[in-house]
Amino acid sequence: MLRAVIQTPLCPLHRAFRQAPRRQLRRIPSCTASRSPALLSCAPWQPGIMAATALKPLIAVCQLTSTPDKEQNFASCSQLIQEAAQRGACLVFLPEAFDFIGSNTQETLSLAESLEGAQIQRYAGLARECGVWLSLGGFHERGEDWASTRRIYNCHLLLDPTGQVMATYRKTHLCDVELEGRVSMKESKFTNPGPEIVPPVSTPAGKVGLAICYDLRFPEISLALTQEGAEILTYPSAFTVTTGSAHWEVLLRARAIETQCYVVAAAQTGKNHERRTSYGHAMVVDPWGCVIAQCQEGPGLCYAEIDLGYLRRIRREMPVCTHRRADLYGRVTVLKKPPPP
Ligand SMILES: O=C(O)CNC(=O)[C@H](CS)NC(=O)CCC(=O)C(=O)O
């Protein structure tokens, strides 16, 4: 079932409400509280309606066609982020390779930057200006071992609205896949696998667990993140058309049903360069497995409200996590790396 999210512009009061930290979200703002001209746009929200519909945090999911042109990609992302912020989203998700998609290995390596470079600074600035959290779902990162390995990391960053990096997760499952005559990917040729799964991060929308694209095929990581408290799992992606049309929605819905989490998947779409096309279908799945938002064809955004009350009800009514038989097949965990000696 596809449930449309009604997209209405928000008045400044509601926008502030949606973007406030969760602990401040107890009171429903009243549009009649102030007569400021800035709030005249509140007219459609009569006090009676407001009392009946407590606003839930709104998230925005981006669909992009990254190319090798970093400037153009930044301009596209920046426009989408601003639009999402204006609509009142508190958290905006960008797909894997939001920074660029190189047309060959050489180009990919030469365009990659470190986390201290200009790109991430610019996104930190955007987070601040727009007052939103940003999931930067797959940055081509020159890590500390760049000089020795000459390989990069596929790094998912989560920024808070002050522009601070709250978490970095480096893709642990690399996509080395050869489907004769259709798909040829060897990510490990230019990417180092990440060393660890990172604990979920608290945001105004819920606790966010970070993964990337091909990780979606490994339910262990989604279970490990859920056991650590995740309420929202993120799979920023750049799926191929062949594998996406066969597996994408099924995998996303399966991860949501198994873990009883919201699953958020920003995506690349369309022709990235001469030899590459991405599947698109950026979407949000609720913890019951229902697709509650999906992008239309081409670059753009879709929105979803996160209802943690609904999530808790599903977990209470069908407590699968307490029915696990770890005695039969073991447990998955987020292994904490030992501190350096
Ligand atoms: O390298 C870049 O610049 C962007 N990254 C990607 O395109 C990555 C690695 S090649 N793509 C995937 O993981 C596709 C997975 C997929 O399609 C599946 O699991 O079916």
The mean pLDDT value for 182-209 works out to: 96
ipTM: 0.95
pLDDT band at residue 215 under the 50/70/90 scheme: very high
pLDDT digits (tens, 9 = 90+) for 40-70: 333 333 344 444 457 999 999 999 999 999 9
Give the whole-angstrom CA distance, residue 124 versus residue 112.
18
Closest residue by CA, ligand 1 atom 11:
238
Closest ligand 1 atom, CA of 97?
A: 4
pLDDT of residue 271: 97
CA-216 nearest atom, ligand 1: 19
CA atoms within 13 A on the CB side of 281: 21
Q: Can you tell me whether residue 262 is helix, strand or coil? A: strand
- Spell out where the chain has E strands: 58-64, 91-94, 133-141, 153-159, 165-170, 176-179, 183-186, 201-203, 206-210, 232-234, 262-265, 267-273, 276-279, 283-285, 291-294, 300-305
Contact 175 CB / ligand 1 (< 6 Å): yes
Task: State residue 334's pLDDT score.
Answer: 76
pLDDT at 298 over 90: yes
Question: For ligand 1, is residue 268 a contact (CB within 6 Å)?
Answer: no
CA 237–ligand 1 middle distance (angstroms): 7
| Average pLDDT of the segment spanning 176-200 | 95
| Residues catalogued as catalytic | 96, 171, 213
pLDDT score for 89: 98
pTM of the model: 0.87
Using the predicted structure, report yes or no on whether residue 159 has a pLDDT greater than 60: yes
Residue closest by Cα to atom 17 of ligand 1: 239
Spatial separation of the C-alpha atoms in residues 26 and 22, rounded to whole Å: 8
- Which residues 6+ apart lie within 8 Å of 78 measured at CB? 126
Å from CA of 232 to ligand 1 middle: 21
Q: Determine whether the shortest distance from the Cβ of 235 to ligand 1 is under 6 A.
A: no
Indicate if the pLDDT at residue 292 is higher than 50: yes
Using alpha carbons only, what angle is made at residue 266 by residues 261 and 271, rounded to the nearest 5 degrees?
150
**Residue-range domains of the chain with CATH:** 58-327 (3.60.110.10)
Taking CA atoms only, the protein residue closest to ligand 1 atom 4 is 97
- Going by pLDDT thresholds of 50, 70 and 90, the confidence category of residue 307 is very high
- pLDDT over threshold 60, residue 39: no
Rounded to an integer, the average pLDDT of 273-292 is 97
**Closest ligand 1 atom to 276 CA:** 7
What is the arithmetic mean of pLDDT over 328-332? 93
Whole-number mean pLDDT of the chain?
Answer: 88
Nearest atom within ligand 1 for CA of residue 244: 20
Share of the chain above pLDDT 70, in %: 83
pLDDT digit string (tens) for 24-35? 443 333 333 333
Ligand 1 close to Cβ of residue 203 (< 6 A): no
Range with the poorest average pLDDT among 46-50, 225-229, 271-275, 322-326: 46-50
For residues 259-288, average pLDDT:
98
CB of 241 shorter than 6 A to ligand 1: no
pLDDT tens-digit profile of 98-140?
A: 999 999 999 999 999 999 999 999 999 999 999 999 999 999 9
Percent of the chain residues past pLDDT 90, beyond the cut: 80
101 lines ligand 1 (CB under 6 A): yes
